[in-house]
Every structure is written in structure tokens, then in C-alpha cells.
Amino acid sequence: MALLGIDTGGTFTDFVLWHAGGLRIHKVPSTPAVPEQAILRGVQELGLAPADLSIVHGSTVATNAVLEGKGARTAFVTNRGFRDLLSIGRQARAALYDLQPPPATPPVPAALCLETGGRLGADGRPIEALTPHDLDALRAALAALDVEAVAVNLLFSYLDASAERAIARALPPGLFVSLSSAVLPLMGEYERGVATWLNARVGPVVSGYLRRLRAGLPGAGVAVMQSSGETLTADAAGEAAVRLLLSGPAGGLAGAGFVAAAGGFGQMLTFDMGGTSTDVALVDGAPRLTLEGRIGGLPVAVPMVDMHTIGAGGGSIARLDAGGALQVGPASAGAEPGPVCYGRGGREPTVTDANLVLGRLRADAFLGGRMPLDLDAARSTLADLGRQLGLVAASEQALAEAAARGIIDIVNAHMAQALRVISVQRGIDPSGGWLCCFGGAGGLHVCALAQALGMRRALVPARAGVLSALGMLAAPPGRLLTRAWLGPLGGRSDTEVSRALAALADQGRAALAAEGIAPRDLRREDSLDLRYRGQFYTLNVPWTGIQRTVAAFQALHAARYGHALALPVELVNLRVRLTAPPRAPVLPTMDCASAGGHAAAVVLAGCPTPVPLRGRATLAIGERLAGPAVILDDVATTWLAPDWTAERDVFGNLLLRQG
């Protein structure tokens, strides 16, 4: 059976087909309103029979539903006296010194917040029972509200889930029900409540989308990437929608880790620049995870890849602000209408238009020549922007190029700052490592960003324009399970902790066995979320016994924050990661016998003489190409800046070095 990785982006939907040890790649424009249409079109254009496919899919459906405020009409059920829980939140100000902040819209309207019994204390003992009268009243209230979904978030339900389960059993069939004890069995009633409500609100949207997708692909096996980097079946994904919010970006990091492991690159900073946004992260063997992610201003405390996202992509729109200064993003032209040069009705200049005007994108070679670009339209739009900026140039072309350089400088500054957030601001010096770029637009900016961070090495992976789709195939099927277990770590024994972790692992094995994965095929990784007594935030440390785990926590705390404390260490959460072998075990090598090939010469803005235009496949293994140059492949373009060299390795990756 052929394996097909699919990444649905804001502008393009990417495909990587793995069959008989080889790879095929494909791109089609996304259809944001009905994302399954782009997928079905791509499968058809690849000439594939659905019944012969095993598909791993990175979906933006859950993310878009949250960001656009769409989703099912959802009731929020909690204990008496706590109906305003999600509205109050943590009372944290978005702007610390704003004394008159505008009132925030509550995530859940007051009319949809219901209260009931079943309250526990912090020690797990009952404070208020859940009575038959409570259940009757709850059923009547939900019937009057005419909701599609229900989120149940009782206090301390992670200690005893019986009351939440009783509520679920009592609700009428047909409702999508999310229980906080199942969605996020961790401390923090606010964060747990948000995750449970989001899961209930977008669950019907995701489930409906997956049903339509499977109906359009009869006989195909369909799995979905989770935010934590493992895949799960489409049937399970509909019930765990909140775990799909970083589905696509997680695929990109899985792909980067796959490439790094094959080529032995070690720790890397990554940036994934697509049409709408740029995601930056640190990959060291595997992506780092966090419980402190945020989507649309809301905390999402389910495990997800630790990344920083900004609104900077190829489709980011350039405009003048109220003061007449040039701004780029976060608004994007998206897939419809897209940049001006796409010829689909776009009227506002974008980063893609700027790269085209500067010659770094080639109008006749975009997507391997399958999608010609309108250079004249892009140049005209950028010249208009230049006039609005008050620029003076000798010709219309020079005016457009000056505006284009301004756009590129600004978007590069935004992305460089994002990379500093994920590295320098966390005490990590990036200068000795690799900067790995992917996404359709990443290679056009990688040299400038590396220089901005003082990095002298960069990696443009083979198939960089579809690396997230490749990552879908490289990601293992699995589960990441978490459970709160608060207490001094020194007050427990190695046996107690190991037994609790084993019980958590048994839950994951049972879920994966239902998906056809044998327990003997699973790899297990145990870890603990630890903190000093009195702290709020935690650090995740592999479990190797109490003494060694505490020492590892002390060392990690010192590395992250510059100090360690002589305080007791508390255990907050248990974590178990279970993974099966990935579907695509080996990154194929590329033909390394080809000679250098003939290089065309093209005129680029800012370059006094014509520069080489090369196809990536024409670079012989070990051949060094000196910049400035433009390197083409079927799904991405790399701009090799002056003072940089490029070399292709056996996997087809471009290794860029400065000097």
C-alpha cells in the first residue's frame, strides 16, 4: 500500500507519496472554505486509487475554527459558583500598563454556562454530591439551550472522574460531549476548562470534515497528525480535536527531525515559512514539547510542539500604516485571491510579489513551471507602493525594486526576532548551529536570517517546500499521555513512581491496540514535569529514578535560567509517550553521479553582473556553488546570497555556508 502525506496550508496543499522506496511530490492551491476539495484534487492529479492509500494528514480545520470563532454551539458545565470560570481566567492583563483595557468578550456566553453538583476538594474528597435532581435539571437546561456540544469541567476531576462520567451517561444521545478528566487530567481548572471547551466546540467541525474526507476517499486509511508529533486514526481524531491545533506545524518539525537524523546535523533552529505564517522552533533529535501553548489568545495546555508563530509568509500584505510607515503582515492574501502575481484577483503587494520583482523567484519556473507568475502585475503594484512611500527612482522598475527591498528587509526583521525568541531569549546561543528552513518561501530568506543571528551554516532540505507533508510520513503513530500527581518527589519511592507511569502506559497501549498496533511494537518514554517548591512553571525531565531525575532537573534549571536552588523538588505531572515505528523508515538518497550541468545566467536587482540560475538536481555531490545564485527545484526556490556557498549532499539537501 502506498503512503501519502498531506499538509493543508493556508495557500497550498502539499503531497508526498512514498511508494516502493521512492518519493513523489505535488502541490495544489488550497481551498480554505472546503479543504477536502484540494486534497481530493491532488489525489486525482497524482493518479492514485484511494483504496490503495494509507494517508497521514496535517489539518488546519481545528485551528481555523478556533481562530475564526467558528464551531458548534457549546454549553460549559461546571460546579456551582464557578460558571464565570472561563470569563475570569487568570486575570492577567494583555498590556501590563494599560489602565483602561477594553473589556474582553467572554469565550462562552453566560447563557451557555451551567452549574451542577459533584464538587471535589483538592484532596479528592467529596464536598457536594451529584444528585439525580442535578442530572434532571442539567438535561432540561441543555434541551432548552439547543446545543450541539457539551464541555464538562468539574473541579479536581483529574483526582476522581466519576461525577463527570455520570453526567456524560445522563446526557441525551447526539450531543458531542467532552470531559475534562479525559481531555486534560491536569491541575489548573481554568486551563483544563479552556481545553475541554475548545475540544467540544471544534470537535463536531473536525468530525464532520473527516467524515467528508473519508467519504471522498473510499477505502483509504486516514490518520491525522497531533500537535505533539504523533499520529492517530481519523476515528480517534474526531474525539480529540483540541490535540490537532498544531497539526500541520508538528509535521514540519517531524520532517526536520527526520532530515537531521539522516544527515547527522544535531541541534537546529528551524523556520517554516509558508504563504500565511512563519513557525520557528528548536529541534534537537525531536521537537520540544510544551503545556503552555496559546491559540487565538487562549491557553491550550494539551501537549504540543514548542514553537513561536508570527504572521509573516509569502502572502503577507505590505501596506502603509496611519503614520505612513511601511508594514508587512500579519494580514495575508492567502490562497484566494493570493499575491498579485498569481493572477487571481489579488490587488495588494505581498512578500511573494517582492521576491519576484527582485528576480529571486522566477516567473517561468514557479512550482517547476506549472504555475506561471505575472511579473508585470507585481512590478506595477510595487511601483504604486513605492510612490505612496515617497520613493524616487529613475524608472518604474527601479521604483518597484526599491519598494520590494523594503518589504523583504521588514519581513526578515520580523522572522529574525521570532528566531531570537525561541533561542537567545531562552539562553541558547544559535551561532554554532544550523538554521534549517522549509516551507515554500523559506529558502528565499534563509541566508539573511542566518546572518542576522550570527549563524554561518544553514540547511535547505530536499523537498523543503513540502517538508511538512514528508513529516507526516516520518511521524510515528502513538499517544502522549499526561496525568497530574502532585507532591514532593523526595516523598515518593522509585517503585511508586514507576508503578504510576506503568498504569498510565497501560491506558495508551489499550487505545493503540484498538487501532491495530500491537503492544510489542511500541516504544515507551517516561518523563516527569518537575518544579521547585513554590514555583508555578515546570520543566520536563526524563524519568531515570528519583536521584538521577532530580540531578537532571537541577542541571536543566541551571542551563535554562542560570541558577539552581537549594529547595525541595515537586512532582507535578507524569508523562508517558508511546510510539510505534514510523511509516517511512529511511530517507532515500538522490542520484549522486550527475555532473554539474549548464548554468543559465539571469539579471537580478542589486547584482552588478548576471548570476547563475541552477536546478538543485544539476549540482553534483560535493560541488560548491558560490553566491549570488538562484537554485530551483519543483516546489521551492533558494536565494544564495553573496558571500555564501551551497553544496548538495547525498540526500539532496543544500548545505549553505558563509565565507
CATH of the domain at 154: 3.40.50
Q: What CA–CA distances, in Å, run from 77 to 156, 198, 602?
A: 14, 13, 64
Q: Which residue type sits at 659?
A: G
How do residues 58-98 score in pLDDT, each as one tens digit?
A: 988 888 788 777 889 999 999 999 999 999 988 777 778 88
Q: Which residues contact 471 (CB under 8 A, 6 or more apart)?
A: 5, 7, 58, 225, 250, 251, 252, 253, 254, 255, 256, 257, 258
> What confidence category does residue 32 fall into, taking pLDDT thresholds of 50, 70 and 90?
confident
Last residue within a domain, chosen from 579, 600, 627: 579
Residue 597 has pLDDT above 50, yes or no: no
Find the range with the poorest average confidence among 142-156, 229-243, 332-346, 575-589: 575-589
The residue-averaged pLDDT of 396-401 equals 92
> What confidence category does residue 134 fall into, taking pLDDT thresholds of 50, 70 and 90?
very high
Burial class (CB in 10 A: 0-12, 13-18, 19+), 216: middle
The answer to the question of residue 509 being in a domain is yes
Q: What is the pLDDT of residue 654?
A: 93
Measured from the Cβ of residue 659, the count of other Cβ atoms closer than 10 Å reads 6
Q: What CA–CA distances, in Å, run from 482 to 127, 294, 439, 508, 529?
A: 26, 18, 31, 10, 10
The residue-averaged pLDDT of 127-139 equals 95
> What confidence category does residue 585 fall into, taking pLDDT thresholds of 50, 70 and 90?
low
The answer to the question of residue 20 being in a domain is no
Cell 441543555, located at residue: 142
Share of the chain above pLDDT 90, in %: 55
Q: What is the pLDDT of residue 596?
A: 44
Q: Are strands 307-310 and 278-284 parallel, antiparallel or unpaired?
A: antiparallel
DSSP state for residue 343 in the 8-state scheme: T
The residue-averaged pLDDT of 443-447 equals 95
The answer to the question of residue 497 being in a domain is yes
Residue 578 has pLDDT above 80, yes or no: yes
Q: Please report how the helices 162-170 and 132-145 are oriented relative to each other, as an axis angle in degrees rounded to 10.
A: 50
pTM of the predicted model, to two decimals? Answer: 0.84
Where b means 16+ CB within 10 Å and e means fewer, 517-548 reads beeeebeeebbbbbbbeeeeebbbbebeebee
Q: What is the pLDDT of residue 114?
A: 96
Q: What CA–CA distances, in Å, run from 223 to 214, 235, 416, 476, 587?
A: 10, 8, 34, 11, 21
Q: What is the pLDDT of residue 586?
A: 67
> What confidence category does residue 142 fall into, taking pLDDT thresholds of 50, 70 and 90?
very high
How do residues 467-481 score in pLDDT, each as one tens digit?
A: 999 999 888 889 999
Q: What CA–CA distances, in Å, run from 28 to 140, 165, 214?
A: 48, 44, 19
Which range has the top average pLDDT, 255-269, 294-308, 370-384? 370-384
The answer to the question of residue 176 being in a domain is yes
DSSP state for residue 360 in the 8-state scheme: S
Q: What is the pLDDT of residue 594?
A: 46
Q: What is the pLDDT of residue 94?
A: 75
Distance CA 495, CA 500 (A): 9
Residue 167 parent element (H or E): helix 162-170
C-alpha cell at 451: 546572518
> What confidence category does residue 106 fall into, taking pLDDT thresholds of 50, 70 and 90?
confident
Residue 166 has pLDDT above 70, yes or no: yes
The residue-averaged pLDDT of 122-143 equals 94
Residue 527 has pLDDT above 80, yes or no: yes
> What confidence category does residue 126 fall into, taking pLDDT thresholds of 50, 70 and 90?
very high
Q: Is-contact 501 526, C-beta < 8 A?
A: yes
Last residue within a domain, chosen from 181, 201, 221: 201
How do residues 481-496 score in pLDDT, each as one tens digit?
A: 999 999 999 889 999 9
Residue 346 has pLDDT above 80, yes or no: yes
Number of domains in the chain: 2
Q: Provide the domain limits for residue 540.
A: 478-579
The answer to the question of residue 488 being in a domain is yes
Find the range with the poorest average confidence among 96-100, 384-388, 547-551: 96-100
Residue 595 has pLDDT above 60, yes or no: no
Q: What is the pLDDT of residue 239?
A: 87
The answer to the question of residue 121 being in a domain is yes
Distance CA 320, CA 328 (A): 9
Q: How far does CA 407 lie from the centroid of its chain? A: 25
Q: What is the pLDDT of residue 503?
A: 94
Q: What is the pLDDT of residue 278?
A: 87
Q: What is the pLDDT of residue 213?
A: 92
Q: What is the pLDDT of residue 593?
A: 42
Last residue within a domain, chosen from 548, 579, 610: 579
Distance CA 633, CA 293 (A): 34
CA dihedral (292, 537, 232, 13) positive or negative: positive
C-alpha cell at 60: 488546519
Measured from the Cβ of residue 67, the count of other Cβ atoms closer than 10 Å reads 13
Q: Which residue would you say has higher pLDDT here, 516 or 458?
A: 458
Distance CA 137, CA 119 (A): 16
The answer to the question of residue 436 being in a domain is no
Q: What is the CATH number of the domain that holds 510?
A: 3.30.1490
Distance CA 31, CA 41 (A): 10
Find the range with the poorest average confidence among 37-46, 56-65, 224-233, 578-587: 578-587
> What confidence category does residue 559 fall into, taking pLDDT thresholds of 50, 70 and 90?
confident
The answer to the question of residue 508 being in a domain is yes
Q: Is-contact 272 300, C-beta < 8 A?
A: no
Residue 599 has pLDDT above 70, yes or no: no
The residue-averaged pLDDT of 133-149 equals 94
Share of the chain above pLDDT 70, in %: 98
Q: Is-contact 347 318, C-beta < 8 A?
A: no
